[in-house]
Amino acid sequence: MFIDTHCHLQFSDFDEDRAMVIGNAKKVGVKKIICPGTNLLSSKKAIALAQQHPGIIYASIGFHPYEAQKNPDVSALSSQLSALSSIVAIGECGLDYHQYGSEKAEGKKSLQKRLLSDQLELALKYNLPTIMHCRGAYEDFFDVLDSLPSMPQGVIHCFSGGLADLRMAQIRKLFIGIDGNVTYSKHIQTIVPSIPLSILLLETDAPYLTPVPHRGERNEPKYIPLIAKEIEKLQGVPVKKVEESTTTNAKTLFTL
């Protein structure tokens, strides 16, 4: 059995055929799906979905770094935590400086850092793991983690860093999420052989990051096995082993 540890199944992209998408995932062995929120509304939708599909869909609640300038209220997340039985993590939260290009954007970056650390503190308070997003911001990202009273558990989802960033993640005992872009990104393909299976998680980030040969279409959790097969190729381990390890890792981190 596979677990898709990051799929935005609550997004409107799936409003027409959500039940079929879940059914098709099940047919190829993807039996559990974690649904991360990106703001308060999508977090609430993730919780509702998890409540409709207990044991199959699990919610994670959080604010994506793109929300930072809207000054979101992190305490509004705490009030959702009364639905704790269907919530397995805080996130996705993180830093994304990609959009700023060469612009310094110090003020905007500070807002992102603040939003991230507030959510990580919430995760520590409720003893929940975190789903973290980091793009073009690894140095600041590890600084924020290191400034907390203790290191949160979690995954750097859709890992895009280099070998030094991977090392920093390993020292902090974080998991690494790999997505469909492993089927076409030369950079990810050079990093994956160095990621121990013991810290690897599979995720689609659907509806985004559709793997080869379906690029250009909407992504779905049913494509998780394509990611596992690419890892088999890059690491030279049987796909069955990739399946077993990543499922064990997901169950351990998110207590599924």
- Residues at the site binding Zn ion, with contacts judged by CB under 5 A: 133, 205
Which one, 104 or 137, has the nearer CB to Zn ion? 137
Q: How far is the CB of 254 from Zn ion (least distance, A)?
A: 15
Q: Which is nearer to Zn ion, 219 or 249 (CB)?
A: 219
Nearer to Zn ion, 45 or 133 (CB): 133
| Backbone phi and psi for residue 206, each to the nearest 5 degrees, phi listed first | -55, 140
Residue 95 or 150: which CB sits closer to Zn ion? 95
CB 157 to Zn ion: min, Å: 6
Q: Cis omega before residue 243 (within 30°)?
A: no
User: d(Cα 2, Cα 26) in Å, to the nearest integer?
Assistant: 9
Minimum distance, C-beta of residue 91 to Zn ion, in the bound complex (Å): 9
CB of 16: closest distance to Zn ion in angstroms?
20
The sign of the torsion formed by the CA atoms of 38, 43, 49, 53 equals positive
